[in-house]
Amino acid sequence: MRCFWTFLCIVFLFPLQAPAARFVVTVPKEIAEVRLLSPGTQAVVEFLKKRLDEQLKASREKNRVDQIEQEVNQASIAVTRADKAYSDKVDSLRKLYIAKIPITIHSASQQITQESALGDITFFYTAQNNSDRIISDIMYKPVIGDIVLPITTSLVLEFINPKNLIFGLAPGESLSNQGSEPERFSFFLSELKEHDVDRIRSSMPGGFSIRITDVHFVSAKGYKGQSKVMDIKEAFPGVLGAYRSASQTARNEHKAKLEALSRAKTLSMAETRESKTEFRAKAFDLKKSSVRYKGSVDMKKNRATIDSIEPGAYILYAPAANGRAVFQEVTIEEGTNKAKIQTLVKDPFEP
């Protein structure tokens, strides 16, 4: 500390002996006062800034902020990878079991009239279960030709035997609604272009098919509601267990890293505030002691005039709003000196 103030004395206590001069300077709006500071001010500010930067860097290093941030990023990547592996395995199981449920459409009919806002489709089908699980239902999209019909809700085809109302299609079994009520659904004609409606009419009855999008399971056949309907994730806990566990482990590690980063930043921020407070105090003393001349700005003309200046080198300083300021070297010569300043920089007396 003694060295610092000794440095200030060397910088600022020097004789100025020369004829007086005038300085007329135009500055940007919102500046109320201009000051001429000792030329050594910039060197002292740079010294204080360097010291502050070193303190902030040391704080981050001590609290491992940068290192933990990298660990958080790596943990986030691990979560993404684990979640993708889990999702990919679920999708692969879904595709595998969808492929094991061939649906044969025996006949289909449409009722589409210009007077109606809805189109109706009825169809008869046979489903074959070639998998090793009891399938409760499928979700599907209806297709006529190559047109996927615009259905606002998911269509579900439940496998309920129409003769005994037993729910579920066991491995190797088939189920048909022929001789019973046809499967039926409706769709909005307004969602289709007119030429697509014409294509649908011309494609029926032989052009109808269904595109399976999902499949569900039950643990045992029975009446509906006796067994819980399970999706892929619920039906294959053993197969998916390792993937689910890896995903949860990655999430737990990511959460732990985030908590560690929060603690590190809290400590670093407290030390940062302390260092900046110290900087502001020293910068305030420096700014106060380094002033050699000052003048008020005429707010109409945005211009200040300072008289009786000893010629020489100075730092022109004029604080503005939002932490901006004029801060640049000027040389004052004998007589009248004029300058027009348009550039603002970050106020060097602010951390």
pLDDT of 12 > 60? The answer is no
**Among 40-54, 179-193, 288-302, which stretch is predicted with the lowest mean pLDDT?**
179-193
Q: Residue 114 has what pLDDT?
A: 66
The pLDDT value recorded for residue 194 is 77
Q: Which of 28-32, 92-96, 242-246, 310-314 has the lowest mean pLDDT?
A: 28-32
How confident is the model over 198-257, as pLDDT tens digits?
777 777 767 889 999 999 999 999 999 999 999 999 999 999 999 999 999 999 999 999
Tokens of 47: 């010294």
Q: Is the pLDDT of residue 147 over 60?
A: yes
- The CATH-assigned architecture of domain 17-61+271-346 is Sandwich (2.60)
Q: Is the pTM of this model over 0.85?
A: no
Return the pLDDT at 115. Answer: 67
DSSP three-state, residue 96: helix
Q: Residue 286 and residue 192: Cα distance in Å, rounded?
A: 76
Q: Distance (Å, rounded) from C-alpha 30 to C-alpha 237?
A: 68
Quick check: 64 pLDDT over 70? yes
- Work out the pLDDT band at 174, boundaries 50, 70, 90: very high
Angle at 77 between CA 72 and CA 80, to 5 degrees: 125
CA distance 7 to 9: 5
**For residue 179, is pLDDT > 80?**
yes
State the pLDDT at residue 117: 76
- Hey, which bits of the chain come out as E strands? 21-26, 33-37, 103-111, 118-128, 135-144, 147-148, 155-158, 174-176, 183-188, 208-217, 291-298, 303-309, 312-319, 324-332, 335-340, 345-346
Give pLDDT, residue 311: 96
pLDDT of residue 197: 76
Residue ranges covered by each domain of the chain: 17-61+271-346, 65-95+244-261, 97-239
